[in-house]
Amino acid sequence: MPTVDASPVPFNFALDRTALLVIDMQRDFLLPGGFGESLGNDVAQLRRTIGPLTSLMAAWRAAGLPIIHTREGHEPDLSDCPPAKLARGPMIGKPGRFGRILVRGEYGHDIIDELQPIDGEPVVDKPGKGAFYATELPELLDKDGIESLVVTGVTTEVCVHTTVREANDRGYECLVLADCVGSYFPEFQRVGLQMIAAQGGIFGWVAESPALIKEIAR
């Protein structure tokens, strides 16, 4: 069984029961001039994950292991956007540089070119922060007998954290890769990762992608 050097302790996993989850690597969040940057955020803090994720996904695919992508966004009529979310995010559905913001089917809603899914890799569209709420993710994982998740994507303290907490409550073991998750705020990145591995791994494990790539390449 592969073992990855991780915090708080090494992470053991079965290759045939592990999936790579790539959360919300969307143009709206990562492209210069897009929605994320329009809010005053430094998209370079998220874009630093692209290189490590590219290498990880290549190794994962070479090993024939499953990858699941997610995208946060809503139906064009915003019928699946809770009123409270829209009240705090009135820009949702409004025109942006890359189309209507966080609306399915728009250019900005889709995954960045560097990390586009290939044939056979599911893309889960989610209306909330977590990947389990109101999505088909549980059925996809159950179908493949998945017990462990390698979690990557953005942002660390929001959609990544929410998904890891949801997964933890459902009995999945989660390995979060520090160089493959990102936050606009360096302090949130640091503390968010510490929270996952705190108290003996209260939500999961934290490692760096080269350690995992080394194991799956054996």
Distance CA 130, CA 162 (A): 5
**215 closest CA partner among 177, 184, 182, 172:** 177
Nearest-10 Cα torsion for 210, 213, 215, 218: -130
How is residue 44 annotated by DSSP? H
24 given a catalytic annotation: yes
Query: CA triplet 47, 106, 86: central angle to 5 degrees?
Result: 85
Catalytic residue among 28, 110, 125, 126: 126
Distance CA 163, CA 22 (A): 11
Catalytic residue among 81, 125, 159, 174: 159
**180 closest CA partner among 8, 30, 54:** 54
Catalytic residue among 24, 28, 110, 125: 24
CA distances, 47 to each of 39, 83, 183, 216 (Å): 16, 31, 10, 24
110 given a catalytic annotation: no
Q: Where are the alpha helices (DSSP H) in the chain?
A: 27-30, 35-38, 44-47, 50-62, 83-88, 137-143, 161-169, 186-201, 209-216
Q: Which residue has the tokens 């913001």?
A: 101
159 given a catalytic annotation: yes
Q: Which residues are catalytic?
A: 24, 126, 159
